[in-house]
């Protein structure tokens, strides 16, 4: 647990010091939402669906950046090799990098949700709390997937290109479920309308957190 805390603390310290991810994530979310609000011109009838879609598009792009940032520092000066040769359990290392990516994404999403509410003319009310389960589950799933894929793509020459090519198609099931669950949450639908989609998100999270924990050793290991 000490190693987990040490890695997470180090990642957060690096981020706080540079602020690169947070600023970039916020700027990217803002840009995406501005474009989408003008492109969709949502009317009251489809406002929930449009705002949910816009939120998740912002999440995916912001998540890509967040996961990459969490691993980028390790590629500089070969630090990932130091971690690979250290006595830390690779699954623990994966968990720490996943936690860092999750925190970066959550901060960006907090801002994105506020922007969505403002741009799509929604209410700042308690119903926004209904967004927490789909967004939290989606963030965990995307962090899990993107952390694993960023570690793989970081070892290739065209890693920055490879990550979205791999991550976006694999995230599609969770993306659909997340948009549907979020739209149900924002439209004030019954909880039962969300649960089916939340189930898909939970399954996605379990799958990729498990896969990441099992495969990370091979991803960061030998040359």
Partner 1 sequence: MMTAPVVETYALGKSFGETPVLRDVNLKLYAGRAAILIGGNGAGKSTLLGILAGLGRPTTGRVTIFGEDSLSLSHQNRRRIGMLSHQSWLYPNLTASENLEFYAALYGLPHPEAVAHRWLERVGLLPFSRERVRAFSRGMEQRLSLARAVLAQPMLLLLDEPFAALDPEGVATVGGMVREQVERGCAVVMTAHGPTAIEGLELEAFSVVRGRLAPYGGERRGGRLRSIPGR
Q: Is the dihedral of CA 209, 192, 42, 111 positive or negative?
A: negative
For partner 1, the closer CB: 6 or 39: 6
Q: Which of 10, 22, 119, 189 binds partner 1 (CB under 8 A)?
A: 10
Residues 57-76 binding partner 1 (CB under 8 A) are 73, 76
Under 8 Å CB-to-CB from 159, ≥6 apart: which residues? 150, 153
> Is 160 a residue that touches partner 1 (CB under 8 A)?
no
Nearest of 101, 127, 125 to residue 8 by alpha carbon: 101
For partner 1, the closer CB: 14 or 128: 14
Instruction: Specify the stretch interacting with partner 1 by CB under 8 A; choose among 21-29, 86-94, 138-146, 174-182.
Output: 86-94
> Is 89 a residue that touches partner 1 (CB under 8 A)?
yes
> Is 192 a residue that touches partner 1 (CB under 8 A)?
no
For partner 1, the closer CB: 5 or 114: 5
Q: How far is Cα 165 from Cα 170, in angstroms, rounded to an integer?
A: 9
Q: Is the dihedral of CA 174, 127, 187, 22 positive or negative?
A: negative
- 93 touches 7 (CB < 8 A): yes
Instruction: Specify the stretch interacting with partner 1 by CB under 8 A; choose among 7-15, 64-72, 123-131, 174-182.
Output: 7-15
Rounded to the nearest whole angstrom, what is the least distance from the CB of residue 81 to partner 1 in the complex?
Answer: 6
> Is 6 a residue that touches partner 1 (CB under 8 A)?
yes
Q: How far is Cα 204 from Cα 201, in angstroms, rounded to an integer?
A: 5
Backbone dihedral angles phi then psi of residue 196, each to the nearest 5 degrees? -60, -45
Provide the binding-site residues for partner 1, judged by CB under 8 A: 2-3, 5-7, 10, 13-14, 17-18, 73, 76-79, 81-89, 221-223
């Amino acid at each position: 647990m000490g190693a987990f805390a040490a890695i997470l603390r180090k990642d957060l310290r690096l981020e706080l010091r540079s602020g690169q991810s947070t600023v970039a994530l916020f700027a990217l979310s803002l840009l995406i939402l501005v474009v989408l609000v003008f492109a969709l011109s949502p009317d009251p009838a489809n406002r929930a669906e449009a705002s949910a879609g816009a939120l998740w598009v912002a999440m995916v792009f912001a998540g890509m950046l967040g996961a990459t940032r969490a691993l980028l520092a390790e590629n500089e000066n070969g630090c990932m090799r130091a971690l690979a040769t250290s006595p830390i359990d690779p699954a623990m290392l994966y968990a720490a990098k996943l936690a860092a990516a999750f925190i970066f994404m959550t901060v960006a999403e907090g801002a994105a949700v506020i922007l969505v509410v403002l741009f799509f003319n929604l209410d700042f009310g308690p119903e926004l709390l209904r967004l927490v389960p789909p967004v939290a589950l989606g963030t965990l799933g995307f962090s899990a997937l993107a952390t694993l894929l960023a570690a793989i793509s970081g070892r290739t020459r065209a890693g920055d290109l490879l990550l979205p090519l791999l991550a976006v198609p694999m995230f599609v099931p969770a993306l659909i479920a997340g948009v549907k669950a979020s739209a149900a949450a924002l439209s004030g639908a019954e909880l039962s309308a969300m649960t089916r989609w939340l189930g898909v998100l939970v399954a996605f999270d379990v799958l990729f957190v498990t896969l990441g924990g099992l495969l990370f050793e091979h991803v960061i290991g030998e040359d």
